[in-house]
Every structure is written in C-alpha cells, then in structure tokens.
Amino acid sequence: MFEGKCGLITGVFNKQSIAWAIADQVMAHGGKCGFSYMPDKPEDHRKKNLNRITKLTEGNPQVAFLQPMDVTNDDDIGQLMTCCEEKLGKMDFLLHSIAFALPDDLKGDTIDSSRAGFKLAMEISAYSLLALARAARPLLNPNASILTLTYFGGEKAVPGYNIMGVCKAALDSIVKYLAYDLGPDSVRVNALSAGPLQTISGRGAGVDGMLKLYQAMAPLGRNITHEEVGRCGTFLLSDMASGVTGETLHLDGGYNIMGTPGHLLDGIELGK
C-alpha cells in the first residue's frame, strides 16, 4: 500500500508505542519513514531516547532518518522539516503521536490542574498537531494523510484520564478544523481513538483497570491488540482511506457505543 511513498513518524518511545505499531505496518507495506524522537537531556550521556529508537529501527532499509525534536520549540520543528525535505523530499503521510501532562496534574482531579501544567499539557498534546501540520504543509503531496492518536476520554468523562481528556477534546476539534483548512490541498486529517493498551502513557493513566472494564463491557468481549491498531492506522494513512477526512475512528471492540454497562449486568439482580 505504501510502495514509493514516504512520510514522518513522531512519538515512538519503545516497542509498545502505538506509533511504532503503525510505523511497523507502514514500512512492511513499502513505506519509507523518517522518525522524530524526544531529545535527550544534555546531562544524559547514555542518550536513552536515541538508543531506544535506534534499537527499534537499525538495519531497516525503510528508515530514512532519526531526528530529535522538541515540539514546544519552533526551531526544532523547522530543523525537522528541513531534514524531511532533504531525506524524503515531498511527503505522503504524517503520524502525530505526541502527548504529555505533568504527573501531578494527570493524577490529580481535573479541577486541581495548575495553570502552568494546563498550558504545558495543552501545548504538547493538542497545539503540537497544528504546529507540525503547518510546518509540514509545503512538503505534503496532494492526497497526503495526517493521522493523530486520541482517546474516548476526550468525548466522555473518564476518571483517571483527567486533564489529558481535556487535551484530547481540543485535539479532536483541531482534527476537524485542520481537515477543513487542508481540504483544498487534497490533504486528509483524521484521528484514531484506540482502546486501552499496555503502553508507557497507558500505564500512567491506570490501564490495568481499564483493560478489565473494556473486556467486560465491549460488545466483542475483549481488548484490542497492538497489531489491530497498526492495521487501522495504516489504513487511515493509506490511499485506501482517500475519501475519509475529519473523522475519529474508534478501535475499542465497540466499547464507545455502549449506553449501559452491558454484559457487566449479567448475573446481577437489579433493584436489590
């Protein structure tokens, strides 16, 4: 599906990252990928972030480059796009998989979020999509696809997701407005809303309890897999989804359609 196509992947942290599940599928289908990663701190002489992504990508002929990028720094974003232009030329896809909130703000009640923490979480988790799309716009081919990763906590209140849910609500809205802005360029913008998975960010949001809940409530009676997320993300980035834009695709076994606890009620005598 991606023979002769190339693009940018952001947000890969390790093998369990959703971004990696998608990138792995894209490369398996012939796509050439450049990767950005969170810069290592100057005092980190072991360069842990660089080493993680190097171990994942080394030896893969479909990997074009590895480039550090702080998404809160416009100079970093500009340098990343320069690298994309030099190594890839025009791009056919861009995967945005970036989110962050300070631990105290993420774990505490939403009402207690600090002003500084709110600004930081919103800048990294939502505004970053605008910043990357704007910077990448001159490099995007007609019929290119932009995909971001969201979660149901942006649509409904999910205890434990807290301030990140507010950020995802903003991200979901940005997807729609970007789809409108980039439509005349024949560039599509969509979001993939995956159910809980064992990832770094998932563990920070209490994924173990959510996995049990989704398995009990979802119509399919199970949780999703990294492979399924990879396939869905690959579909949305590919020409097979050429008529789809401004959409949020839910990949959660049907959990999002439920208006009651569903099968959780089986065997419970109500009214007693």
**How does 186-198 read in b/e, with b if 16+ C-beta sit within 10 Å?**
ebbbbbbbbbbbe
Q: Identify whether 151 is a catalytic site residue.
A: yes
* Look-up of token digits 């002929």: 61
CA distance 174 to 183: 14
Three-class SS state of 228: helix
Given the residues 161, 177, 180, 255, the one annotated as active site: 161
CA 243-23-14 angle, to 5 degrees, is 140
CA 201, CA 35: separation in Å to the nearest integer? 19
3-state DSSP: the chain helix, strand, coil percent, rounded to 5? 50, 15, 35
Instruction: Write down the catalytic residue from 37, 127, 151, 177.
Output: 151
- 18, two tokens: 């959703």
Would strands 32-37 and 188-194 be described as parallel, antiparallel, or unpaired?
A: unpaired
CA torsion through residues 195, 201, 203, 206, sign: negative
Q: Is 177 a catalytic residue?
A: no
Catalytic residues: 151, 161
